[in-house]
Structures are given as C-alpha cells and as structure tokens.
Chains A and B, each alone.
Chain A
Amino acid sequence: MNPLLELRGVSRRFGGLTAVSNVTLTVRPGEIVGLIGPNGAGKTTLVNVMTGVHPATAGSVLFNGRDVTRLAPWQAARAGIGRTFQIVQPFPELTVVENVAAAALFAGGAASIREARALAVEHLEFVGLGELAQRSASALTLAMRKRLELAKGLAMRPRLLLLDEVNAGLNSSEINQALELIQAVAARGVTILIIEHLMKVVTTLCSRVVVLHHGELIAEGTPLTVMRDPKVVQAYLGKRYAENTAGAVHD
C-alpha cells in the first residue's frame, strides 16, 4: 500500500540548533502511529515541519504522493493534514460551535457558513460537547478544550490527523474517555500520528511507535519492542541505568 505520509531525510535547523535531524519515516493509511521521545526531542518541531509552520531546511515531506514540504500552514490544512495543539489554541471570544465551524469552513470544504455550522454541531456531538455549543470557548475546562481541539481537527476533514499531546493534563477517567474517542476517530478511517508521553495511551492505541531523541529517529517498531530497545531506555533513563538493566527490562 502506498504511504499516506512520507518524510525523506527531513532536517530542521534554527540557526545553529538542529531540532530535527535527517528523519525518514512513513505512515500508511489507516495506521495509528505513536511518536514518542523525551522532552525536547523535537516531536512538536517534527509536527510543525509536516504542517508547514516551520518548513524543513533539508529533505522533503510527501503527503499522498504530493510534495508538501513548502506549503504554508493553511495550504497543508486544506490538503488534508489536520492537527491539534499541545497548548490548546481556541478562539476565546468565539463560541464553541464557531470554533469548530471555522475549521469546517476554511479547511474542511464546507460550502457555506450555514453548512459549516451544521457540520460543527455533528463533530461537537461526536466528541461530547454538543450541549456546550453556544458557550464561549474561553469558558471551557482544560479537558473540554482538548476535546474542542479534537473536534476542530476532525472538522478539517483530514486524511491524516496529528495529535500533539491531547491527553496531557487530563485525569485518568478523562484519559479513558479520550482513548475511546481517538479509537472512534480512527474507526472513521482517519490515519493518526499521535505524540504522547503516557505509555498507557501508546500501548493501547498504537500499532507502531517511532522514537525521537535529540532530533534523531533512534527506534521504530511495536510498542513492546521499542520499550525494550536499549537505546530507548538509555534516552529516557540514562546510560548507566540502561547498562545495569540490559536485557532485564519488562514492561
């Protein structure tokens, strides 16, 4: 099967700092891929490279066979790459339904504001915010804002959805709800690349995990094999710990 997303030797430098270095990666249609790595590994930068916020300084990004390396963010959004933000970014003075309608209108191909609003209501009911449609977005709790992000992401009608820590800051019952929601999204045929720190989420959702460390891809495979990989253990817990427990790591 042709890959939906393909990164070929992608690097991103900020002056002298190389945030992402020579990353080659493919995501096939229908997959849920986890992108993990310690803080500062370059995960969010990689998402920003894919969406045109910080275009790659070397290498190329192909989406559905088309070179999208140089697209502006709004063009990437219309091409079918949706994303949510680690730090939620609602339009605070718009209502919840308007927030989602904006995504449906400008990226999701809705023909009119009326249609965008109708689609937005559907997406809000899907993520469980239907009752709050008319509230101002600034009135939502963090867990609700994360769901709002997801509804916005869905309203963009993406083929690929990049979820940047949608579960960070949620309590465990909220996480369980979020997990069900993400699985329901995947069941609709949306391919998902998820940045995540919580191993519970990664092991539950992802069929494949890629690990980023200091901007480089250091491991790739199923969640279990990746977690046993000495390089990954070393990246998270340090070299000494990795050597002491070599071969004895259990999940």
Chain B
Amino acid sequence: MSKSVMATADTAARRDLGLACVLFVLLALPPFLADTYILRLGTTMLMYAVLALSWNFIGGMAGYPSFATAAFFGLGAYAGGVAQKFGISMWIAWGIAGLLALLFAAALGLALLRLRGHYFAIASLVVAEVLREVINSATDLTGGGMGLNLPLRTGQSVVQQADFFYWTMLGLAAVAMAATIAVQHGRLGFGLRCIQQNESAADMLGVNTTATKTSAFALSAVFTGIAGAIYASWVNYIEPPDVFDVLYSVKPIVMVLLGGAGSVFGPLIGAGVFLGLEEIVWRRFLEVHSGVLGLLIVLLVLFLPRGLAGIARRRSRGSVS
C-alpha cells in the first residue's frame, strides 16, 4: 500500500522530467531546419512560454491572479538596457535584470500578497502603470518617452542573430521548465497547492503562507525579468508603452488557462497554441482583436477551466478508474 503511494509521486516527477527533455530536444531542431521567419516566431513562442511558465508559479500554483507580468518584463527590459548603456556586458546585464526583478517582486509580494482575489489582481495591475510613469520621467537614465537604444550586435549575420536569440530564449525556457518541475514536485509546490485550495487551512497546517507566496511571486518575476532583458537586446530598441504593455500581463494568463493552470506542461502547450492563434486568427481580426481575446478568456473559463492539459488528465483518469 504505502509503497504504491510513494512510487506514484516519484514516477510522476521522473515522467515530467523525461517528457520535458524530449520536448526541448525537439525544440532545439528549428535553427537547423527553418528560415528566419519561423525562427522569429519560434523565439516569440519561447518568450511566451517563459512568461506563461513564470505566471504559472503565482497564478496557477498559488491561485493568485497576478497582472504584474508586464511590470517585471518592462523592469527587466529597462534594467538590461540601462546596464548595457553603462557598458556592462550583455550577459551580466541580463543577470542584473533578473536579480532586480526578483528583489522587486519579493518586496512587492510582502505588501501585495496580503490581498486576495480581485483585490490582488487590481493592485498588481497598477504596478506596471506606476513603473511605466517612473521610467517615462527618469529621462536622463532611460531616455523617457524617446525610448532607449541598445547596442547592436556586430559581426553576426542576420541568420546568426536569429539563431542566437532563439537559442537564448530556448535556454531560458528550459531553465524555467526545470524550475517548474522542481517546484511542482517539491515542498514549495506542495505548499502552493495547499494555499491555492484553502489558504487559511494551509496556514493552520503549518504552511508559512507569506514566505511561500512571496517565493512563488519572486520566481515568477526572475524569469520574466530576464526574458524582458533578452527581448530588449533582441529588438535593439525599447520604449515604455512597448515593454509595459498590459498585453504582456494578459497573454500569459490566457496561455496558462488555455494549457491548464497549475500543471507542468500546460503553460508550454498554451504558449504554442496561443502563438498559433495569434498568427493565424489575429491578423484577420485586426480591428477587434482585443474583443476576440476577451471572448476567448470567457469561453476558456466557462468550458475549459482546467485547460487542454485538463482534458488529457481527465481522459487518463477516466481510463484508470
């Protein structure tokens, strides 16, 4: 009895890890096969995957509907950009961006995570707006509304650059995926699931809810911040309305809901499907695409509360029992 109970937990972790390895080996193929258009799409998809995996820590696992993704993304982009403006090398600038986003989220989390539900969502939504205004007015440092130019990467062909940014986003997505698996099957993820189900009961069972939620928030910020910094280097020019765009907060939520909140592969599936929708459907609804986005969210919540991964899970559970 006890053996089978424990075996299921261990094999689940091993299965997830194996599946993730296969998936990322497949994702490493496009640079050898595809043209730069596909690579640009792929890099965007991997960036979306990073944002979705990040949001999943706080939104999916802990059940806190965070709209702060754009704040961390923009903060990372500007931290990376400003650091490079002062001559710091690109890789270190990316690291600084991640660290800054992490510290910012930890401090922010201690204050914001006291709020629950809608109140938390609204408060987190404001953060990006505040940061956008701060960056707008710090003209000397950030260029303000004029935007910020990043150093061009010299000595590389267009194809080499496309390959390079695909690889770096892939690497970041792989790290975010590994962190997701580690958290999901570890003590932190267990605590987060308890909080998501019933926070006061978790508190009374010995879960340090403040520390647990803050860790999830900080984890969601660090990868988002690095993604922002890589994005800034990739597009060479950033401005506040671009990197603090509220869509950076909304899209990851749609992706995770689409794929399956709180699951390991849901965010990745969601990012892929979402990018497909964006490329194929979006262009045909240029005028009303935010309306289509809203409709999609409503339909998701109504008919697919557990996302695409939830369908698969329900199938497999049904076949067992």
Contact = CB atoms under 8 A, between A and B. Distances in A.
Interface of A: 51, 53, 72-74, 77-78, 83, 85, 89-94, 97-98, 101-103, 105-108, 113-114, 117-118, 121-122, 125, 130, 133-134, 152, 156
A121 B207 contact: no
B205 A107 contact: yes
B156 to A, nearest CB: 46
Interface of B: 1-2, 5-6, 8-10, 185-187, 190-191, 193-194, 197-198, 200-209
A72 B212 CA distance: 14
A90 B10 CA distance: 24
Contacts of A102: 190-191, 194, 202, 205, 207
Contacts of B197: 91-94
A102 B187 CA distance: 9
A121 B5 CA distance: 8
B249 to A, nearest CB: 26
B9 A77 contact: no
B206 A103 contact: yes
Contact of B193 (A91, A118, A121): A91
7 contacts: A53-B200, A77-B204, A90-B198, A91-B197, A102-B190, A102-B194, A156-B206
B51 to A, nearest CB: 25
A47 B206 CA distance: 16
A130 B1 contact: yes
A118 B6 contact: yes
Secondary structure at the A interface, as helix, strand, loop or mixed, is helix
Contacts of A113: 9, 185-187, 190
Contact of A73 (B5, B9, B204): B204
B168 to A, nearest CB: 33
A230 to B, nearest CB: 37
Contacts of B208: 74, 106
A78 B211 CA distance: 15
A113 B10 CA distance: 10
A96 B208 CA distance: 21
A114 B202 contact: no
B5 A97 contact: yes
B281 to A, nearest CB: 32
Nearest to A78: B206
A37 to B, nearest CB: 22
A77 B1 contact: no
The 4 A-B pairs at the shortest CB distance, nearest first, are namely A107-B206, A106-B206, A91-B197, A77-B206
A242 B21 CA distance: 76
A106 B201 CA distance: 12
Contacts of A78: 206
Contacts of A77: 204-206
Nearest to A110: B187
A74 B206 contact: yes
Given A92-B197, A114-B10, A106 B207 contact: yes
Contacts of B190: 98, 101-102, 105, 113
